[in-house]
Structure 1
Amino acid sequence: MKLLLLCIVGFVAAFVDSIAGGGGLISVPAFMLYGLPTHMVLGTNKFSATTASLTSSIKYIKSGTTNKELLKYLSPMTFIGAVIGVNLVLKINQRYLYAMVLILVLFVGIYTLFSKTIGQEDNFNGLNRRNLLLGMILALFIGGYDGFFGPGTGSFLIFGLINIYGFNFLNAAGNARFLNFLSNIASLIVFAYKGMVDYKIAIPVALFMIIGARLGTKAALFKGSKFIKPIFVTMSILVALRMLYNFINI
């Protein structure tokens, strides 16, 4: 019964995550409540989340909402950043990191809430040296951030891609999901190597997450940017509130 409830929560987390990011806010506490050892929670969640992000990435790519030329440049930076990030996780004081990221996530959510035009229209005008460089820096840092910490990764990627390239929410979400998949798989390799994945739990949850990711992506593609924005703002603020709670209790 406990495993079935965890699978259902995983479905909801993947549905939300495939639209606007923030699924870890739902799934990680659920794995903790299930009773997994603390060191196994992140690795087991990462396994299930990686299958979900792969599923939604494939669907976004098939729909034509991703820019393959852009991803060719940003993908290696995301992967490298995540590998570096996982290996730095024990060397950084998380209290300082929480404070910094908390402020950034709140800024992203509030700015998006009060901006009537952000992400509503696709104003992408092509790639150039400047926006490619900015995108590669974004991919490296967010990949690294996801590797050693994670909360708000989807929000930062979507917000960054909108502001650098002029994407609407739908196109930003499509590109962000693929980049998020790469940072997930890089992190998962390290977690798996260190034996931090409980496959008996991760595999059934992953199956439910795949279904959730498929349905969430389909909803995003059908409803468009106006549907994504309120979910994006809600998840950004919820991530910030969750981080504030954790910060107070560190």
Structure 2
Amino acid sequence: MLTLSLITKILFLCVAAFLAAFVDSIAGGGGLISLPAFIAAGVSPHIALGTNKFCASCGSLTSVLEFIKSKKIDFNFLKYLLPFSLLGAIAGVNTVLKVDEKFLETLVLILILSVGIYSIFSKSIGKESTFKGTTKLNIFLGIILAFCLGFYDGFFGPGTGSLLIFGLIKIFGFDFVQAAGNGKLLNFISNITSLILFAIHGQIDYLIGIPMAIFMVLGAKFGTSLAINKGSKLIKPIFITMSLSLACKILIQNFL
């Protein structure tokens, strides 16, 4: 039975879901908004993670379809990377209890801070595409990127989208829009893998998850449309903001 307090909680989470999907579809980092909202609403951590994966996967799928429609996703090279994103996610989920999480958090903090600071001072990064096709080297590096970040997403998660965007720009010479589109599909594959495992273990609250998923679809559609139309001028500042915000969150939560 829906009570007033439950309706209020769902409305609060739906607003957070819209904002999270909007930001995530542009530059990654939507979990910075949605996960704290779950905790603030009194949802238990495991249910929060599982339900967030359910909602985020719906938003990610919407973004992927919009990017495909605008021809910002290149399947010619992604066909090599996607299987490794899947395998990485499976490996990450299966080893989550065997690796010291503190080590991973420290590594990600360093990576995210480096990415954010580098992006601030590099005026040319992601501004224009210099992609000239695939080579054995960039495919090999792309496979390593897909596997490692798939593993990370299955194991831990925060910052995967931002790291994928940065990695695709540096390896393939994409602009921010191309990197966001291709990165979103890779991120979706690792997301859906983790989602299936959360669902199997009954860690999803569909009562709040379904309405949140609807708002994430709307937020993702709006954000992706803006990203495609406004390009790097919109994506870069949001990308830098979310990268540095995530780094601060990890630092404050685990090291201070």
Matched, 1:212 2:208: no
Question: Equivalents in 2 of 1:205, 1:89: separation in Å?
Answer: 27
2:56 is matched with which residue? 49
Residue equivalent to 1:62? 69
Which residue is 2:108 aligned to?
101
The equivalent of 1:236 in structure 2 is 243
Per-residue CA distance 1:103-130 (angstroms, 9 max, x = gap): 1100000001110000001000100111
Cα separation, 1, equivalents of 2:54 and 2:170: 30
- Provide the rounded CA distance (Å) in 1 between the counterparts of 2:23 and 2:42: 24
Counterpart of 1:74, as a letter, is L
Q: CA deviation at 1:98?
A: 1.2
RMSD: 0.8
Q: How does 1:157-196 map to 2 (within 5 A)?
A: 157-196=164-203
Structure 2: which amino acid aligns with 1:30?
A
Equivalent in 193, 197, 208 of residue 204 of structure 2:
197
- State the alpha-carbon separation in 1 of the partners of residues 231 and 103 from structure 2: 37
User: Which of 49, 74, 86 is the matching residue for 2:81?
Assistant: 74
Which deviates more from structure 2 when the two are superposed, residues 86-95 or residues 65-74?
86-95
3-state SS, counterpart of residue 96 of structure 2: helix
Tell me what 1:124 maps to: 131
Q: Using the TM superposition, give the Cα deviation of residue 248 of structure 1 relative to its aligned residue in structure 2, in angstroms.
A: 2.4
Which ranges of structure 1 fall in alignment gaps of 5 or more residues? Answer: none
TM-score (norm 1): 0.98
Residue 89 (structure 1) aligned with residue 96 (structure 2): yes
* Runs of 4+ deviating beyond 3 Å: none
| Structure 1 counterpart of 2:128, one-letter code | E
Q: Which amino acid aligns with 1:164?
A: I
The equivalent residue for 2:4 is: none
Question: Percent identity between the aligned chains?
Answer: 57
Pairing partner for 2:15 from 8, 16, 38: 8
Match of 1:147 among 146, 154, 165: 154
Mark the runs of 5 or more structure 2 residues left unpaired by the alignment: 1-7
One-letter identity of the residue aligned with 1:73: Y
Q: Write the distance in 2 (CA, Å) between the matches of 1:140 and 1:96.
A: 18
Aligned residues: 249
1:15-73 CA distances to partner (integer Å, 9 max, x unpaired)? 00000000001101111111112211111100000000000000001101111111111
